[in-house]
Structure formats: C-alpha cells, structure tokens
C-alpha cells in the first residue's frame, strides 16, 4: 500500500513539472521581455529605494538583459517563493543572491556565478567573533539561506532562530533578542554604512558562497544566453565598473 501511494505521488509530481513549460530563449526573444524575480530585502544586492527596486543584482541583471536584447519585467517576492515560482513557470529567472548548493542544483539550473562572497558572524558584543564564541548562544539567520545550513553545522549553539527576511534577523540582534546574526559580509557592511551608530561588530568569515542566478531546471537555452551576455560584461569592463560602484572592489568569483 505504502508503495502504491509513493508511486502515485511520484507520477503526480512528474505530471506537474511537465505541465509547467519554461519559456525557451527563443520564446522570450519573440516576446522581447524577460520576467525576473527577486526579493528586494537584501541590500546592497537587491532592495527597494522607495518604490524602486535597486542594488547590484538589479543593475547587473538589467545590463545582462540589455545585452541579450531584452526588456525586464521585475517581480518582488518573499525569498522562499522564488524557486517555487520557477517550477510553476511564473517567471523566467531568479536573481536574489542564492549561493550554489548541491541541494538547490537538484531543483533549478544555476547560471554562471555573478559574485563570490560568504557568511560572517555579526554581533554587538566584541567577545562574540569566532565559531567557538557561539557556544551556548542564540544565532539569527534568514530561513532557507546558506547561513542556516552552515550555522547548523557549528557545535554547541544554544539555538538557531529563523527569520523570513534577513532584515528581521538583523532587527533581532539589534534588539538583543539573539546573541549573533550570520549573514553576507557585504550585507553587514551596507548595514553599518546605513546605521553607523548601530554598534554592529563583524566577526569571523565562515564560508564561501558562489552566488548565481537560476532558471527553471533544464532551461539550458536561457541559461546559455544569460551566461554569454554576463561573460561579455565580465570581459569588457562594465561588470568591474558596476562592482566598484557598490563595493569599491571587483567581487567576481576567481
């Protein structure tokens, strides 16, 4: 009986993904417009400046699309909805600072990476800097992030608290509901720039994240078109200029 139920479920899942036909690069070219989803709560990569989506990834994706001869229609959604919508063919591409992981790569097709960064420990207490200092402590991370995966591996934590948005994990630290926050090293710098009096202290760097955009699993024509355009920008100096504007550095993966 258990076997049959499992078989039925597998068949239904397969049918579900057959139903969702990702738009090929040709189909998108005919339409002239690519639909890109992001979160909009992860400065300086993707965030709202008033009502306008801004950030390194927003500007970069627009440059890539332009190279591909496409206009962009943006969608902003909660982080946990982004990959699910690819499977349902609700948008063509996601760019929201996703690190490439094996588990994610089973669900989506990653493009070439557009920056390399990683997770850092952040706290208000100068004594909390290293993984060993987190023993017996409560750590805040964004739900579904690589920070959660990596923090879970550290021994001796009291607990890990998940927040739907990274900005909520930061608030939990600011109001001292947690002892530490683990997030992207550039996100901490942006938070410090925006709130110089916050007292945030950047501790040790924990792991490397290779960050890429993603398309529906198997939409290779779109991934290749995107990769070719990104490679041009990486080679002709435009990527470098944009990266320096945000980070005073070239943040490409090496």
Name the segment binding ligand ARG (CB under 6 A); options: 22-30, 40-48, 120-128, 244-252: 40-48
Q: What is the end-to-end Cα distance of the chain in Å, rounded?
A: 52
Can you state the angle between helices 220-235 and 56-67, rounded to 10 degrees? Answer: 100
Q: Which residue in the set 92, 133, 166, 179 belongs to the binding site for ligand ARG (CB under 6 A)?
A: 166
99 scored as a contact of ligand ARG (CB under 6 A): yes
* Distances in whole angstroms, Cα of residue 56 to Cα of each of 53, 107, 209: 10, 25, 16
Count of C-beta atoms within a 10 Å radius of residue 195: 12
23 scored as a contact of ligand ARG (CB under 6 A): no
Q: Which residue in the set 109, 120, 146, 219 belongs to the binding site for ligand ARG (CB under 6 A)?
A: 146
* Residue 199 DSSP symbol: -
- Beta carbons within 8 Å of 158's beta carbon, 6+ residues apart: 136, 137, 138
CA–CA gap between residue 127 and residue 102 (Å, rounded):
34
Least distance in Å: CB of 137 to ligand ARG? Answer: 21
133 scored as a contact of ligand ARG (CB under 6 A): no
Least distance in Å: CB of 40 to ligand ARG? Answer: 8
Least distance in Å: CB of 32 to ligand ARG? Answer: 27
Least distance in Å: CB of 97 to ligand ARG? Answer: 4
CA–CA gap between residue 53 and residue 61 (Å, rounded):
12
CA–CA gap between residue 100 and residue 110 (Å, rounded):
7
94 scored as a contact of ligand ARG (CB under 6 A): no
Which residue lies nearer to ligand ARG by CB, 25 or 82? 82
Residues 46-65 that bind ligand ARG (CB under 6 A): 46
Residues near ligand ARG, by CB under 6 A: 39, 41-42, 46, 79, 96-99, 142, 145-146, 166, 184, 209
């Amino acid at each position: 009986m258990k076997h049959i139920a499992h078989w039925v479920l597998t068949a239904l899942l397969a049918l579900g993904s057959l139903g969702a036909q990702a738009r090929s690069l040709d189909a998108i070219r005919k339409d002239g417009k690519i639909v890109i989803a992001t979160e909009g709560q992860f400065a300086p990569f993707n965030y709202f400046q008033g009502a306008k989506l801004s950030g390194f990834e927003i500007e970069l994706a627009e440059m890539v699309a332009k190279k591909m001869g496409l206009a962009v229609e943006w969608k902003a959604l909660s982080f946990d909805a982004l990959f699910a919508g690819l499977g349902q063919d609700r948008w063509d591409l996601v760019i929201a600072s996703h690190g490439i992981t094996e588990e994610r790569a089973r669900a989506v097709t990653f493009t070439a990476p557009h920056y390399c960064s990683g997770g850092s420990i952040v706290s208000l207490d100068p004594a909390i800097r290293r993984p060993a200092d987190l023993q017996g402590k409560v750590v805040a991370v964004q739900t579904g992030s690589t920070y959660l995966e990596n923090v879970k591996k550290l021994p001796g934590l009291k607990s890990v608290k998940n927040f739907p948005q990274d900005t909520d994990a930061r608030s939990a630290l600011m109001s001292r509901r947690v002892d530490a926050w683990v997030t992207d090293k550039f996100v901490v710098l942006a938070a410090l720039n925006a709130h110089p009096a916050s007292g945030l202290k950047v501790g040790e760097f924990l792991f490397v994240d290779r960050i890429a955009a993603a398309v529906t699993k198997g939409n290779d024509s779109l991934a290749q078109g995107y990769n070719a355009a990104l490679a041009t920008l990486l080679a002709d100096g435009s990527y470098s200029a944009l990266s320096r504007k945000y980070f005073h550095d070239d943040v490409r993966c090496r």
